Protein backbone atom coordinates (compact mmCIF):
# COMPACT_ATOMS: atom_id res chain seq x y z
CA UNK A 1 0.00 0.00 0.00
CA UNK A 2 1.25 3.43 -0.92
CA UNK A 3 0.71 6.26 1.59
CA UNK A 4 0.80 9.89 0.45
CA UNK A 5 1.02 12.74 2.97
CA UNK A 6 -0.71 15.98 2.05
CA UNK A 7 0.18 19.54 3.10
CA UNK A 8 -2.54 19.23 5.77
CA UNK A 9 -1.29 17.52 8.92
CA UNK A 10 -3.01 14.16 9.30
CA UNK A 11 -4.81 14.19 5.94
CA UNK A 12 -3.54 11.11 4.11
CA UNK A 13 -4.13 9.44 0.76
CA UNK A 14 -3.84 5.68 0.47
CA UNK A 15 -3.42 3.60 -2.66
CA UNK A 16 -4.15 0.04 -1.52
CA UNK A 17 -2.72 -2.87 -3.46
CA UNK A 18 -5.24 -4.18 -5.94
CA UNK A 19 -5.03 -7.67 -7.35
CA UNK A 20 -6.74 -7.77 -10.74
CA UNK A 21 -7.17 -10.31 -13.51
CA UNK A 22 -9.72 -11.03 -16.24
CA UNK A 23 -12.30 -11.97 -13.56
CA UNK A 24 -12.17 -8.63 -11.76
CA UNK A 25 -10.16 -7.45 -8.76
CA UNK A 26 -9.64 -7.83 -5.03
CA UNK A 27 -8.40 -5.22 -2.57
CA UNK A 28 -8.24 -4.95 1.19
CA UNK A 29 -10.14 -1.77 2.18
CA UNK A 30 -9.20 -1.80 5.86
CA UNK A 31 -6.71 -3.67 7.98
CA UNK A 32 -6.04 -1.98 11.32
CA UNK A 33 -2.45 -3.18 11.63
CA UNK A 34 -1.47 -2.32 8.05
CA UNK A 35 -2.98 1.18 8.25
CA UNK A 36 -1.45 1.77 11.69
CA UNK A 37 1.97 0.97 10.22
CA UNK A 38 1.17 3.43 7.40
CA UNK A 39 0.43 6.23 9.90
CA UNK A 40 -3.31 5.92 10.52
CA UNK A 41 -4.00 4.67 14.05
CA UNK A 42 -7.75 5.22 14.48
CA UNK A 43 -10.79 3.22 15.51
CA UNK A 44 -13.77 3.37 13.17
CA UNK A 45 -17.22 3.00 14.75
CA UNK A 46 -19.65 3.92 11.96
CA UNK A 47 -19.74 3.07 8.26
CA UNK A 48 -21.81 5.00 5.70
CA UNK A 49 -22.74 4.67 2.04
CA UNK A 50 -24.24 7.32 -0.23
CA UNK A 51 -25.22 7.60 -3.86
CA UNK A 52 -25.29 10.94 -5.66
CA UNK A 53 -25.97 12.18 -9.18
CA UNK A 54 -23.67 14.21 -11.39
CA UNK A 55 -23.33 17.82 -10.27
CA UNK A 56 -24.28 17.13 -6.64
CA UNK A 57 -22.00 18.83 -4.13
CA UNK A 58 -22.14 17.69 -0.51
CA UNK A 59 -20.31 19.77 2.06
CA UNK A 60 -18.37 21.28 3.54
CA UNK A 61 -19.45 19.34 6.64
CA UNK A 62 -17.95 18.86 10.08
CA UNK A 63 -19.01 17.99 13.62
CA UNK A 64 -17.96 19.85 16.74
CA UNK A 65 -18.13 18.62 19.42
CA UNK A 66 -17.82 14.90 18.68
CA UNK A 67 -15.67 15.33 15.56
CA UNK A 68 -15.49 12.59 12.95
CA UNK A 69 -12.39 11.43 11.12
CA UNK A 70 -13.40 9.82 7.81
CA UNK A 71 -11.73 7.29 5.54
CA UNK A 72 -13.51 7.81 2.23
CA UNK A 73 -13.47 6.01 -1.10
CA UNK A 74 -15.59 5.70 -4.22
CA UNK A 75 -17.04 2.34 -5.18
CA UNK A 76 -18.36 3.46 -8.56
CA UNK A 77 -18.08 6.76 -10.37
CA UNK A 78 -15.81 9.76 -9.87
CA UNK A 79 -15.72 12.60 -7.34
CA UNK A 80 -13.62 15.63 -6.50
CA UNK A 81 -13.10 15.15 -2.76
CA UNK A 82 -11.95 17.96 -0.45
CA UNK A 83 -10.62 18.27 3.10
CA UNK A 84 -10.35 21.72 4.73
CA UNK A 85 -8.39 22.36 7.92
CA UNK A 86 -10.74 24.35 10.17
CA UNK A 87 -8.90 23.78 13.45
CA UNK A 88 -8.55 27.18 15.11
CA UNK A 89 -4.87 27.75 15.81
CA UNK A 90 -3.61 25.41 13.08
CA UNK A 91 -0.79 26.65 10.83
CA UNK A 92 -2.85 25.43 7.84
CA UNK A 93 -6.21 26.86 9.02
CA UNK A 94 -8.49 27.50 6.03
CA UNK A 95 -6.27 25.55 3.61
CA UNK A 96 -7.62 22.66 1.56
CA UNK A 97 -6.48 19.55 -0.25
CA UNK A 98 -8.42 17.74 -2.97
CA UNK A 99 -8.21 14.31 -4.55
CA UNK A 100 -9.95 12.77 -7.52
CA UNK A 101 -11.40 9.51 -6.21
CA UNK A 102 -12.80 6.96 -8.64
CA UNK A 103 -14.10 3.44 -8.64
CA UNK A 104 -11.15 2.59 -10.88
CA UNK A 105 -8.22 4.25 -9.07
CA UNK A 106 -9.28 2.77 -5.67
CA UNK A 107 -7.70 5.68 -3.77
CA UNK A 108 -8.78 6.28 -0.19
CA UNK A 109 -8.63 9.70 1.46
CA UNK A 110 -8.44 10.13 5.23
CA UNK A 111 -9.95 13.38 6.51
CA UNK A 112 -8.92 13.84 10.18
CA UNK A 113 -11.10 14.97 13.04
CA UNK A 114 -11.24 18.78 13.07
CA UNK A 115 -11.47 19.08 9.29
CA UNK A 116 -14.42 19.96 7.08
CA UNK A 117 -15.19 17.55 4.24
CA UNK A 118 -17.01 17.86 0.95
CA UNK A 119 -17.19 16.37 -2.51
CA UNK A 120 -18.78 16.94 -5.88
CA UNK A 121 -19.79 14.23 -8.32
CA UNK A 122 -18.12 14.34 -11.73
CA UNK A 123 -19.57 11.13 -13.21
CA UNK A 124 -23.19 10.31 -14.03
CA UNK A 125 -23.54 8.85 -10.52
CA UNK A 126 -21.17 7.96 -7.69
CA UNK A 127 -21.42 5.53 -4.81
CA UNK A 128 -19.41 6.87 -1.90
CA UNK A 129 -18.28 4.76 1.08
CA UNK A 130 -16.83 6.13 4.28
CA UNK A 131 -15.91 4.91 7.73
CA UNK A 132 -16.09 7.34 10.65
CA UNK A 133 -14.24 7.60 13.97
CA UNK A 134 -17.33 8.87 15.79
CA UNK A 135 -21.08 8.50 15.55
CA UNK A 136 -23.13 11.07 13.65
CA UNK A 137 -24.38 13.82 15.98
CA UNK A 138 -27.09 15.98 14.39
CA UNK A 139 -26.71 18.71 17.03
CA UNK A 140 -22.97 18.99 16.37
CA UNK A 141 -23.30 18.85 12.56
CA UNK A 142 -22.34 22.09 10.80
CA UNK A 143 -21.73 23.25 7.23
CA UNK A 144 -19.35 25.82 5.83
CA UNK A 145 -20.19 27.41 2.48
CA UNK A 146 -18.79 25.37 -0.40
CA UNK A 147 -17.83 28.60 -2.19
CA UNK A 148 -16.35 30.45 0.79
CA UNK A 149 -13.97 33.02 -0.79
CA UNK A 150 -11.56 32.76 2.14
CA UNK A 151 -11.06 29.02 1.51
CA UNK A 152 -11.22 29.49 -2.30
CA UNK A 153 -11.59 25.86 -3.41
CA UNK A 154 -11.09 25.40 -7.13
CA UNK A 155 -14.18 23.21 -7.64
CA UNK A 156 -14.47 21.63 -11.10
CA UNK A 157 -18.17 22.59 -11.28
CA UNK A 158 -19.70 26.04 -11.13
CA UNK A 159 -23.43 25.49 -10.45
CA UNK A 160 -23.69 22.49 -8.14
CA UNK A 161 -26.85 20.83 -6.90
CA UNK A 162 -26.98 21.58 -3.15
CA UNK A 163 -29.11 20.63 -0.17
CA UNK A 164 -30.90 23.46 1.66
CA UNK A 165 -28.42 23.02 4.53
CA UNK A 166 -25.42 23.45 2.21
CA UNK A 167 -27.06 26.26 0.23
CA UNK A 168 -27.52 28.25 3.47
CA UNK A 169 -24.14 27.44 5.05
CA UNK A 170 -22.05 30.22 6.59
CA UNK A 171 -18.51 31.25 5.66
CA UNK A 172 -15.51 30.85 7.98
CA UNK A 173 -15.65 34.61 8.67
CA UNK A 174 -19.33 34.54 9.70
CA UNK A 175 -19.57 31.22 11.54
CA UNK A 176 -19.49 31.35 15.34
CA UNK A 177 -15.83 30.52 16.04
CA UNK A 178 -16.88 28.59 19.17
CA UNK A 179 -18.32 26.04 16.69
CA UNK A 180 -14.87 25.43 15.17
CA UNK A 181 -12.57 22.67 16.44
CA UNK A 182 -9.59 23.87 18.48
CA UNK A 183 -6.05 22.65 17.87
Per-residue pLDDT tens digits for 15-34: 999 999 999 999 999 999 99
Per-residue pLDDT tens digits for 114-160: 999 999 999 999 999 999 999 999 999 999 999 999 999 999 999 99
Per-residue pLDDT tens digits for 69-78: 999 999 999 9
Half-sphere exposure of 41 (CA within 13 A, CB side): 3
Whole-prediction pTM: 0.96
Q: Which residues contact 86 (CB under 8 A, 6 or more apart)?
A: 62, 93, 94, 114, 115, 116, 144, 172, 180, 181
Chain centroid, CA 107 distance in Å: 12
Report the pLDDT averaged over residues 99-127: 98
In the chain the domains, ranked by start, together with CATH numbers, are 2-174 (2.60.120.10)
Beta bridge partners of 101: 79
Catalytic residues: 61, 130
Amino acid sequence: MKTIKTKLDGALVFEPKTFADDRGFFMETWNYQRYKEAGLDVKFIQSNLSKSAQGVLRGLHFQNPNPQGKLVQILTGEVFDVAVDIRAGSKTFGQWHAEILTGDNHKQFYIPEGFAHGFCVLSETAIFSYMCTNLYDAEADTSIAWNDPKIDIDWPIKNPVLSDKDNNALTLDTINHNRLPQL
